[in-house]
Chains A and B, each alone.
Chain A
Amino acid sequence: MSDDKVVKVALIGNPNTGKTSLFNQLTGLKQKVGNYPGITVEKKIGICKLNDTFKAEITDLPGTYSINPTSLDETLVLDTLLNEKNDSLPDVVVVVVEIENIKRNLLLFTQIKDLKIPTILVINMVDQMKRKGIEIDVKLLEESLNTKIVLASARKKIGIEELKAAILDYKKLDTNPISNITDRIDKEYFTKLKNEFPEFSLYKSWLLITQNNEFDFLNNQQKELVLKFREDLSCIKKYQHKETILRYQIINNVLKDSFKVDKSKASDLRGILDRVLTHKIFGYVIFALILLFIFQGIFDWATYPMDLIDGAFASLSSWVKTVLPPGTFTNLIAEGVIPGIGGVVIFIPQIAILFTFIAILEETGYMSRVVFLMDKIMRKFGMSGKSVIPLISGTACAIPAIMASRNIGNWKERLITILVIPFTTCSARLPVYAILIALIIPDQEVLGILNLQGLTMMALYLLGFTAAILSAVLLNSTLKIKGKSLFVIEMPNYKIPSIKNIFYEVVEKTKAFIFGAGKIILAISIVLWFLASNGPSTFKNAEQFVTSKEENKDLSESALHKKVAAYKLENSYIGYMGKSIEPAIKPMGYDWKIGIALISSFAAREVFVGALATIYNVDSDSENSGTIKQRMAAEINPDTGKKRFDFPTGVSLLLFYAFAMQCVGTLAIVKRETNSWKWPIFQLVGMGLLAYISAIIAFNIFS
């Protein structure tokens, strides 16, 4: 025990054994979510009060099938157990197994037990024993496995207090291995191994030489020895194979007398559901219907709270302007900070609804069936079945979608998914698409029932998905990242979702969004506001200049005010930036005003409409959207004498916004998830080039 009154506990288990439910029951809301050093796999630590004096610091380790890792998160489990210099080195390990899959789950337990670490075995979901016709002789099983066993049901709060008591008494646990399997594999080989590493347990030495990891905690001499043993790889593979067979033999023997299943008492609803939900036709139809329901829910249900949030922040801005003394700082608060925070908070309903649905699908066990169903298709494009949900989630917002890609074990597949998600049409593109389509596509019917503008919108959604898939194919063939692409998927039992688990999941994801991307969006909003609200001498003398220029035109005060605002924007720092990029954007058919909107919307695409509204001297609220449209439609290109937003420019802009990475929040999340600047810059440049080239081509073709 590192601190006399804190017991360090590692919670380990196969995926879908109810490990996280148990973690939530033990720790409640006293949880911290961080990342493992240098990588982006989540690390959950929680505090559990054991009695008035002692408490447990519980680490919820990623789900793993064995401690022979095949993915990054599984490697962490191994490192936590082997590295004695690690802060998270546990005093006691709690291995969670599921009642129905106990045989397979026990493989991991036997491996950990052989490391001579105090280990408690939790058999979870025992509330289903009767329904499944299962009987366990706990005493016999405890004797056979040399351990303390706790029968629990995390969902029904069964066995929690017993587990706390067992953790408190961890020093009394038997740390002897279950059986000496190494002698049965090759006595001579393992004696030699034991002699070479006298300071470690035999099984730890075996794990050191069988893994590809570079264990930092070894000294140079030990590292050399490890490498020497690894030279005979075929021998290691052969012994690993033997080890697995021997372990299952031991598990079979142990369970023969202590674990009985009477199939006649069990009901097989699971089999029927599996056959329907993974059916090669019905499976896809059901999945499509569920997705339709989810996105209907996201767009319909999120609208009301989003409108409320939008309205509340707009009122707050006005209120601040009336309460605070007039001045630049008041303007910054009212026009920069509050809208900046509002721009973050407004996405909360969508994020919360999306993650509620994802959590429900995961909790019920349906997600594993979806992954199984889609894996074959997605694999052809360099992704995995697990990429489906993040890709579809991207139609709401790329930020939570990228976060949802964390459960993709293979780094290459996860990276490809992260890189292509921003192509899917997110809700921030909607206002941009809506106004441009209204400007360039006639409002007419096709085939009597379909609306041409609606069809264009659908085509843009399909364009986004097609771009994502084609980019994935390209990345798959060009990215040189090593990684085993194994597909092992657990088909967990169907369960009634736990409201507590769903609540924690949604709170955690929403918090990560607000405090992660939110701070960045807010900071950028302040910088953009400053650039748009300040400028050189021409900006400062705007009022005087415009008033003297317009004095004979008999303008109303409001009209004059708008003219001054437009002149100021043109001469602000951001206005100069717009003009400075004009030569580069001219081939796409844009002028400096559109350039300002492009720069302003670099932080978030939806800013485009608001920026153009300001530039064209009209209000950007929804009630006056017609006015924005009219003013945009009336804008004339002085070079050609034609409309500024004609068909070629409109298509060019649509393609630009379909492909360009105009979202700082997404870039920030990609940076956080990949722990590198390389990938967001690659995305920004790659998507930017694609957007730029396709916009130029489209403009020239249609001109």
Chain B
Amino acid sequence: MQDILVYIALGLAIGFLVKKYFFKSKKKGNCNTDCDC
């Protein structure tokens, strides 16, 4: 049971990091030459 909970926590941590860094939507609006977006 404890092992299952560990894997859930690990999955959540990895999922959070992946979502945070690789799947964040970026809007391209409101940019001008002074901004690198």
Contact = CB atoms under 8 A, between A and B. Distances in A.
Interface of A: 36-39, 71-72, 75-76, 79, 212-214, 216, 325, 327-330, 332, 337, 410-411, 415, 481-484, 519-520, 522-524, 526-527, 530, 671, 674-677
A79 B14 contact: no
Contacts of B10: 526-527, 530
A527 B13 contact: yes
A96 B26 CA distance: 33
Interface in B1-37: 1-3, 5-6, 9-10, 12-14, 16-17, 20-21, 26-37
A327 B12 CA distance: 19
Given A38-B26, A39-B31, A526 B13 contact: yes
A484 B3 CA distance: 57
Given A523-B17, A530-B6, 12 more contacts: A38-B31, A38-B37, A72-B34, A212-B32, A330-B2, A523-B13, A524-B13, A527-B13, A527-B14, A674-B36, A675-B26, A676-B36
A482 B13 CA distance: 39
B6 A519 contact: no
Given A38-B30, A671-B21, A677-B21, A523 B16 contact: yes
A686 B12 CA distance: 31
Contacts of A519: 16, 20
B36 A415 contact: yes
Contacts of B9: 329, 332, 337, 526
A676 B33 CA distance: 16
B5 A329 contact: yes
A637 B30 CA distance: 58
Nearest to A326: B2
Interface of B: 1-3, 5-6, 9-10, 12-14, 16-17, 20-21, 26-37
Contact of A675 (B14, B17, B37): B37
B28 A38 contact: yes
Given A38-B37, A329-B2, A329-B6, A76 B20 contact: no
Contact of A37 (B2, B3, B6, B27): B27
A411 B30 contact: no
A75 B21 contact: no
A411 B29 contact: no
A522 B27 CA distance: 28
Contact of A72 (B13, B20, B29, B32): B32
Contacts of B32: 72, 75, 212-214
19 contacts: A36-B30, A38-B27, A38-B37, A39-B31, A72-B34, A75-B34, A216-B29, A327-B2, A328-B2, A328-B6, A329-B5, A329-B6, A329-B9, A332-B6, A415-B36, A523-B17, A674-B36, A675-B26, A676-B37
B30 to A, nearest CB: 6
A681 to B, nearest CB: 11
A330 B5 CA distance: 10
A483 B34 CA distance: 5
Contact of B37 (A39, A213, A216, A482): A39
Contacts of A410: 34
Nearest to B22: A677
Given A36-B30, A216-B29, A411 B2 contact: no
A72 B35 CA distance: 7
A76 B30 contact: yes
A138 B8 CA distance: 66
A482 B30 contact: no
